[in-house]
Homo-oligomer: A and B are copies of this chain.
C-alpha cells in the first residue's frame, strides 16, 4: 500500500500529511469553467463519463493532490431513485418536496444501478488516468443529508420541515432513511467495484439535529452503511463527514466504524482530536475563506491545522468546500506550504 492517503486511512501518521481539497474540481479553475461552458446542464456533466472524468482529473494535473474525488453530486442518488432534480443557476438544487409515505414508496431502488452506470464509468475512466500514488475517492451523501434536500425541496436555513418530520412522523422518516441506506450501500459498492480506493459519506447537515436524533439518523444509518460496505469490500476505507456535529464528533467517530472522520472549519483540532478515538484518522479543516484571502492570513491558518494534526493519522483538507472566488494561485501556495511541513 504505497498511496499516502491510504496509509493514513490505515492508521499511519504520515508527514507531511497527504492532501486534497473538498470541491477541488470546480468553478475556481479556469479549465473547469471552459469545459463547463461546452457541456450541457449540470446533471448531463455528471452523467457524461468522458467529461466528468476530465473534470475530476483537472486539479490532479494542476496541483498533484494525493487524491482525486469523483466529480458528481450527492443528489445524484435521489435522482437515480426517480426523485426529480434540477439545478438552477445561482439558486442551487430544486427537488420535489417529499411529504408522504406514498412519496417514499414512489422511490424505486431497482432503477438505481442502471441510472448511475455512467457515474461508475466515470470512476473507471478516472482510475485509468491516475498514477500509482494518487488515490481515487468515491462518495455519496449520507442518508440524513440527502433526506434534507428531499424533504425541504432544496437547501434551507433552518431545516424546519425535516426536523419537524423527524420528531413528528418518526415512522415515515425512518422509512425514507431505510431506502436511502440500502441504495447508498449499492451505489458506493458499485463505485468501489469500479475502482474507488476509498469512499466518503458527506453529511453536510448533520449538525441541525438534537443529540437523540443525531444518534438515530446520523450515527445509526452511517453505521449500517459502513458495516455493509466492510462486509462486501474488506479493506476499502470509509471517511465520514458529519459537518457541524460539534461535540458529537466523538460519538460519530467511535460508533459508526468509519476509518476517518472529516472535521469542519470550527472543529479546533486539539479538542476534536481528544474526542475522536486514536484509531480513527482525521481529515480537514482549513477555513476555505482563508484561501480566498491568501498570503499571511492563509499561512497562519494552515500552520494552525498542521500544528493540530501533527503526530496523528491526518489528511490535510479544508473544513468545507473550496469557494468559486478562490484564486487558483492561492491553492498553489497552499500546496507548497503543506508539502514543506
**A interface with B by C-beta (< 8 Å):** 155, 157-158, 160, 163-164, 166-168, 170, 207-214, 244-251, 264-269, 271-272, 275, 286-287, 289-290, 292-293, 297-298, 300-301, 304, 319, 323, 325
Cα–Cα, bound, A213→B265 (Å):
11
What chain B residues lie within 8 Å of A286 (beta carbons)?
A: 210
Cα–Cα, bound, A293→B161 (Å):
11
Most central of A170, A211, A214, A244 by chain B CB within 10 Å: A211
How far is the CB of A99 from the nearest CB of chain B, in Å? 15
Once the chains bind, are A247 and B265 in contact (CB under 8 Å)? no
Once the chains bind, are B251 and A268 in contact (CB under 8 Å)? yes
What chain B residues lie within 8 Å of A244 (beta carbons)?
A: 207, 244, 246, 266
Could you list some 22 contacts between A and B, CB below 8 A? A158-B323, A164-B293, A167-B290, A167-B298, A207-B246, A207-B266, A210-B265, A210-B287, A210-B290, A210-B301, A211-B268, A212-B300, A212-B304, A244-B246, A245-B246, A245-B266, A247-B267, A247-B268, A247-B272, A248-B271, A250-B271, A271-B275
Closest to A273 in B: B247
User: With contacts A266-B210, A266-B248, A304-B212 known, is A167 near B297, CB below 8 A?
Assistant: yes
Instruction: State the main secondary structure of chain A at its contact with B.
Output: helix
How far is the CB of A231 from the nearest CB of chain B, in Å? 30
What chain B residues lie within 8 Å of A292 (beta carbons)?
A: 160, 164, 167-168
What chain B residues lie within 8 Å of A289 (beta carbons)?
A: 160, 163-164, 166-167
Cα–Cα, bound, A251→B269 (Å):
13
Most central of A210, A271, A301 by chain B CB within 10 Å: A210
How far is the CB of A280 from the nearest CB of chain B, in Å? 15
Cα–Cα, bound, A298→B275 (Å):
28
Closest to A162 in B: B289
What chain B residues lie within 8 Å of A300 (beta carbons)?
A: 212
Closest to A292 in B: B164
Closest to A300 in B: B212
How far is the CB of A282 from the nearest CB of chain B, in Å? 12
How far is the CB of A142 from the nearest CB of chain B, in Å? 15
Cα–Cα, bound, A158→B155 (Å):
12
Once the chains bind, are B247 and A301 in contact (CB under 8 Å)? no
Once the chains bind, are B271 and A304 in contact (CB under 8 Å)? no
Closest to A157 in B: B157
Cα–Cα, bound, A158→B288 (Å):
11
